[in-house]
Structure 1
Amino acid sequence: MTNIPMPPKSSTFASRPTLLGAYDKRLTAWPLAQAMIDVGVSQGISSASLLRGTGLFLEDVANGSSMSARQLSQLSMRAHKSIKNRDAGLQIGRMLTSSHMVGPLSLVLRCSSMEHCFSLLPQLRWGCMPLVHWRSYIHDDSVYVVPQNTFGVTEQWPFLVEIAFAWIVSILRQGTGKRFPVNIDFAWSRPRNIYDYEEFLGTRLRFDQAITLIRMPQEAWDTDFLMADNDWITTGMAPLKKQPMFALSEHVQDMLLKQPDITAAQIADSLAMSLATFKRRLAEHNMSFKQLSDDIQKQHALMMLQTCRANTQELAEAFSVSDTTNLRRFIKRLTGMTLTQIRDSMS
């Protein structure tokens, strides 16, 4: 069977992580919230208009008060709908490594490398980019970084990906002081403001792809950061390690990767909650167990095709499908595309 590249092992924590719900006010990503507000205000939109319906007040953001994922999601939706500038998300992402690089964000450029940065993001991201988490795959001399929808946001997902990708590309450029060739695939169509994308993300862009991801050379992943400071990292990470958190969707996907045939009831039991409570908590994330299971299988299949160029037999073996006809139906159900369409889009 094809040697499918797997994500790195999850980070270990000093104490048992806390399950973070969509309504739990535990997030400290106020620099991201402030960046959204500042871009909106620069376009003549009042902060009150952007914050309407979120349950947040300007003084909450200014004072660094904790917020919930639902509140941040609502703010991102307001920003996405209200700000007319097509490059707003890209601007916000870059601001997180410049004017708004405070709190946990100040740690990312002190990491030793891009690999080190991503190893810390499971703990850092609650104060940086809490609505997005990442899975990274290494194959041959390339690293593939795939954004994951942590709390089930819907229509503003491309907007959040723009923010996240602009942030990651800016970290790489500023951290290494180099402009490595970074390839970025988007699952949506080519935007009208392609020049904005090229300014913030580079020119190696593809649209209408089967999966959204960043691909960078292994050298970019391993290159030392110019401002690396282990003492700074140790001091900054200490309080985060004392109160680690995890999101339900991320935990479910991790378990499905380790044990593809695990059931919802088994995962609920591992979390010491009833099946009904487990389903309700997933619903708060706008998700279901079947959806998460399908998503992780879809990503697994697409990464086999993207990185290993897996053939039909290898895919059938990986997913325990008896014949090619059933495999083609299985792939079409997961992705909405035929194997031929997927391969053509990746060529």
Structure 2
Amino acid sequence: MKLLALHLHSIMEYARWKGVSFSVMTQLMQHPPHDFFAEAAVVSEEDFYAVLEYVVKNNDDDSLGIHLGKFLNLNALGLIYRISLQAATVEEALHYLQTYLNTTFPIIEIKTAVNETSAVIQLNINNNKSLLNRIILEYALTVMSRELSMMTAEQAQIRLYSPYYQVDYPSPWNHDLSFSLDFTATILKATLQDKSRLQLDILIPEYLKLLESLKAEQSFSNKVKIASLHMARPELPDLEMIADAFHLTPRTLQRRLGDENVTFRQLTDDLKRQISALLIRHDRFSVSDISYVLGYSEPAAFIHCFKKWHGDSPERVRKSFSGGWNK
């Protein structure tokens, strides 16, 4: 059975961020793809499990699948985004996403049940690799929940279930005998949030450029920046979300950053400065759009920060491109 190589790359990218050698993981594969990002690139089921098993052995993380889902590779997020744009309602988008998973992750069996009050999506893998399957299924559910939240502007009350649930699982995870998620059925007919205004077809490549520029440095603060870009939705995650990705309390994460003479706020502001400099070059992004992407509640707050970062207003900087502005 063949799986989309991009799914495995998301796992390998997370493991590399956690300190696992990418080249060693590649050497575990009998038939590694020449290009993980090619849309037709696939890996065998055996290679997928070989790498996943190695990643699990090198990560002391009982919630690995959940953290993988939150750290979803931006290339994969771009594919999901393009698929969901075909739909007008949440119901249609889920149909497209289910078809996408069936095609690209065929080891996962998906069952959907809808009644008057709720919709339930149940996932299963029919083999004897139960501990590794736990990682895959919790990862898949986290991704689906993340996408549902983006589709509905987080209006859907989504609950996730795992037989391995423990009290330290994040909300909204619960215990059940199967891997599943449910939400209010009325959401299915809801019109999708207009994600086209976010222009993710531009935003994701720009985020990827920033990621590539960050990979050479191995400092803790740099790893925090990388995690922030991976976990963007598209606005950057807050301190609590990043701390959870590192299995640290927010206070401990701040202390570790302090050891490198930087704060989380400074890191986030630096990323926002870089992202704003990239996005202001694209006329398709209005100032309000960039403000929203960067997580500001009002454009005025973004404009104030932009002037501080770049020495002029967004409109004036945009107009000055022909004069060779380059900051």
Give the letter for the 2:180 counterpart: L
Query: What's the secondary structure of 1:61's corresponding residue?
Result: coil
Q: Which residue of 40, 52, 75 maps to 2:15?
A: 40
Q: Which residue of 207, 216, 219 maps to 2:186?
A: 219
Query: What's the secondary structure of 1:178's corresponding residue?
Result: coil
Pair 35,104 (structure 1): closer, same or farther in 2 beyond 3 Å: same
Instruction: Summarize the alignment of residues 1-347 of structure 1 with structure 2, pairs less than 5 Å apart.
Output: 22=1, 25=2, 27=3, 29-57=4-32, 59-63=34-38, 65-96=41-72, 98=74, 100-103=76-79, 106-125=82-101, 128-149=104-125, 153-190=129-166, 194=168, 197-198=169-170, 203-207=171-175, 209-227=176-194
Query: What's the secondary structure of 2:57's corresponding residue?
Result: helix
Structure 1 residue runs of 4 or more that deviate by more than 6 Å after TM superposition: none
Superposed CA RMSD in Å reads 2.9
Give the letter for the 1:223 counterpart: A
Question: Deviation at 1:40?
Answer: 0.7
Q: Distance in 2 between matches of 1:34 and 1:87?
A: 19
Question: Deviation at 1:217?
Answer: 0.3
Question: Deviation at 1:183?
Answer: 2.1
Q: Distance in 1 between matches of 2:17 and 2:190?
A: 36
Q: Distance in 2 between matches of 1:97 and 1:50?
A: 17
Q: Distance in 2 between matches of 1:139 and 1:88?
A: 32
Pair 63,218 (structure 1): closer, same or farther in 2 beyond 3 Å: closer
Structure scoring higher RCO (CA < 8 A, sep ≥ 6) equals: 1
Query: 1:31–1:102: 8 Å Cα contact kept in structure 2?
Result: no
- Identity %, equivalent residues: 10
Pair 174,189 (structure 1): closer, same or farther in 2 beyond 3 Å: closer
Give the letter for the 2:188 counterpart: W
Question: Deviation at 1:175?
Answer: 1.1
Deviation per residue, 1:146-168 (Å, 9 max, x gap) = 10215654321111112111101
Deviation per residue, 1:316-347 (Å, 9 max, x gap) = xxxxxxxxxxxxxxxxxxxxxxxxxxxxxxxx
Query: What's the secondary structure of 1:206's corresponding residue?
Result: strand
Normalising to structure 2: TM-score of the pair? 0.52
Mind listing any 5+ residue stretches in structure 1 that lack a counterpart? 1-21, 230-347
Deviation per residue, 1:299-332 (Å, 9 max, x gap) = xxxxxxxxxxxxxxxxxxxxxxxxxxxxxxxxxx
The corresponding residue for 1:18 is: none
Query: What's the secondary structure of 1:100's corresponding residue?
Result: helix
Q: Distance in 1 between matches of 2:53 and 2:81?
A: 22
Normalising to structure 1: TM-score of the pair? 0.49
Deviates more, 1:84-93 or 1:33-42: 84-93
Pair 58,81 (structure 1): closer, same or farther in 2 beyond 3 Å: farther
Pair 130,113 (structure 1): closer, same or farther in 2 beyond 3 Å: farther
Q: Distance in 2 between matches of 1:43 and 1:184?
A: 25
Query: 1:185–1:211: 8 Å Cα contact kept in structure 2?
Result: yes
Q: Distance in 1 between matches of 2:10 and 2:133?
A: 17
Mind listing any 5+ residue stretches in structure 2 that lack a counterpart? 197-327
Query: 2:110–2:122: 8 Å Cα contact kept in structure 1?
Result: yes
* Aligned residues between the structures: 195
